[in-house]
């Protein structure tokens, strides 16, 4: 058996920006379609459009194993009964975009954080510029901003 990498290019070209639309089903041998897997111009496009359907089907895994000559490698199907908010037909694009997370728990607990870090004391400092040079520099910056805006408005009116 061999993996077919034939791609129907009648309606697309891999050399264009629309190459993301150039996809086809992955076929092993002459007629065995691999459920949920696609081929395209770019491997990343093919991967992100594919699903994990085949990995839930032992017959499909056996076909891939035979085509790639991986008979010595033990491949077991994924358990479809295991709880997940992703369905068998969820695209890898969606799973990747969701950071492959099943759920996200957001909890803020400052007490536990401070107890874990065991701080001796907590302090902060602010630097406030009160010297004459910094005051002069800040005022000069404000004047420049005012003049630039006024001049640009003036020139816009003249045009």
How much is the average pLDDT of 93-106? 90
Q: What Rg value do the Cα atoms of the chain yield, rounded?
A: 30
Greater pLDDT, 38 or 123:
38
pLDDT band at 144 (very low <50, low <70, confident <90, very high): confident
- Quick: pLDDT tens for 115-126: 777 767 777 677
Residue 15 confidence (pLDDT) above 90: no
Greater pLDDT, 95 or 148:
95
d(C-alpha 20, C-alpha 13), whole Å: 9
Q: What is the model's pLDDT at position 91?
A: 94
Lowest mean pLDDT among 45-54, 131-140, 150-159: 150-159
Contact 46, 34 (CB under 8 A): no
Lowest mean pLDDT among 11-20, 59-68, 101-110, 133-142: 11-20
Strand order of the β-sheet with 23-28 is 3-4, 23-28, 32-40
Alpha helices in 1-158 (DSSP H): 43-49, 58-67, 92-97, 110-117, 132-158
Greater pLDDT, 41 or 3:
41
Q: What is the model's pLDDT at position 9?
A: 52
Contact 34, 53 (CB under 8 A): no
How much is the average pLDDT of 56-85? 86
Q: What is the model's pLDDT at position 2?
A: 46
What is the residue extent of each domain of the chain?
3-97, 125-159
């Amino acid at each position: 058996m061999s993996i077919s990498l034939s791609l129907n290019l009648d309606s697309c070209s891999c050399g264009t920006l629309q190459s993301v639309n150039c996809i086809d089903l992955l076929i092993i041998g002459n007629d065995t379609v691999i459920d949920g897997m696609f081929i395209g111009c770019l491997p990343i496009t093919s991967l992100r459009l594919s699903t994990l359907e085949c990995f839930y089907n032992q017959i499909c895994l056996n076909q891939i194993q035979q085509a790639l000559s991986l008979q010595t490698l033990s491949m077991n199907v994924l358990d479809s009964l295991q709880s997940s908010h992703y369905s068998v037909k969820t695209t890898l694009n969606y799973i990747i975009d969701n950071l492959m997370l099943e759920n996200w728990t957001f909890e803020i607990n400052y007490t536990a954080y401070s107890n874990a870090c065991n701080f001796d004391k907590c302090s902060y400092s602010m630097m406030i510029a009160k010297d004459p040079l910094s005051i002069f520099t800040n005022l000069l910056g404000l004047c420049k901003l005012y003049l630039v805006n006024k001049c640009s408005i003036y020139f816009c009116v003249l045009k």
